[in-house]
Amino acid sequence: MRDDHSLAGELATEAGERLLELRARLGFEDGRALKDAGDRASHEFLMDALRRLRPDDAVLSEEATREERMDPRRLSAERVWIVDPLDGTREFSEEGRADWAVHVALWERGALRAGAVALPAWPGSAQKPAQGRTLTTAAPPELPEKVREPFRIAVSRTRPPEFVRELAARHGGELVPIGSAGAKIAAVLTGEVEAYVHAGGQYEWDSAAPVAVAVAAGAHASRIDGSPLTYNQGDPWLPDILVSLPDLAPTLLAGIRDLHRQTP
C-alpha cells in the first residue's frame, strides 16, 4: 500500500493533469462553466480515489455539501483527508495564469501528517523551464538560506489587508500579488517571496496541504498572533494565517503585534 505522503502527491498531481486537459478542451470563453467543470471533475476524481484507496478515512472537501462538511463523524475520526480540488478557480479560468493549485492533506490525531500542493501550470524559471510541479511532504522543498532584502510578502490580488501594506512599509518589504492561497505559500517555499500574510479569512482546505508542506520544509506557519493553526474543527473557518521563512517570522509577528496595539 502506498504511504500517505506518496499518495497525497500522486493524487494532487493526477488531479492537476486532469484539470490541464479540461482547460485545454473547454477553453476560456465561458469562465464560469470552466470553473464549475474544474471544481466538479477534480472533486469527483479525488473523492473516488480516496474512497477506493483509504476507505476507512474521513474526507473534508471544499466541494462537499454543507451537510457532509458538518458530519459529526468527521470530528471523531482519527484520520481525515482535507482537500481543495481546485484552489484558485478565478486564476484557473484566466488564460495564461499559473497561480492555481490542487491541495491534498492528511490530518491524523490532531496534526497535519502529510500533504501535497500540485501547481499544474507552473512554468518553472528562465533557467529551468518546466510544466507543472508538485510540492510534497514526501520530499519537502529546500528553503532559501537567507531572507532577501527587501523581503517580499505574497498578498491577495484583490484585497490585501491594509495592515500588511503598513507592515511592509515600516520594515522595508514589498507586496507581491499572487492568486490562490496554495500558490502564495508555494511561492514562499520556492523563494519567489519570503512570506504570506492573510487576514481576510479562509477555510481549512485553503491552507491544510500547503501548511503541511511548509512545516515539513522548516518554514514558520501560524495565525498572525503566533498561535497555532488548527485543523479538522467543527467550523472549518480560519480567520488569518502567516507563513514565512523562519528567520523572518519574529520580525513579522512583532510588527503585526505593534500595528494592532496602535489600532484604535
53 annotated to a ligand binding site: no
* Listed residue (105, 263, 245, 259) closest to 187, CA to CA: 245
List, in order, residues 6 or more apart from 210 with CB less than 8 Å away. 101, 103, 115, 117, 135, 181, 182, 185, 186, 243
Q: Is 206 annotated as a binding-site member?
A: yes
Question: Quick one: which of 256, 126, 241, 243 has its CA closest to 193?
Answer: 243
Q: How far apart are CA 68 and CA 7, in angstroms?
A: 23
CB-count exposure of residue 85 (10 Å: 0-12, 13-18, 19+): buried
**Residue 84 assigned to a binding site:** yes
Tally the C-alpha atoms within 13 A of residue 113's C-alpha that lie toward its C-beta: 15
* Separation CA 31–CA 250 (nearest Å): 41
The H or E element spanning position 9 is helix 4-26
CA–CA separation, 158 vs 8, rounded Å?
30
Cell numbers at 205, concatenated:
482546505
- The cell for 159 is 484585497
- Gap between the Cα atoms of 43 and 62, Å rounded: 8
CA 17 centroid distance within chain: 18
Binding site annotation covers 87? yes
The Cα 245–Cα 153 span in angstroms is 11
Closest CA to 215 of 16, 13, 5: 5
Binding-site positions for Mg(2+) read: 62, 84, 86-87, 206
Binding-site positions read: 62, 84, 86-87, 206
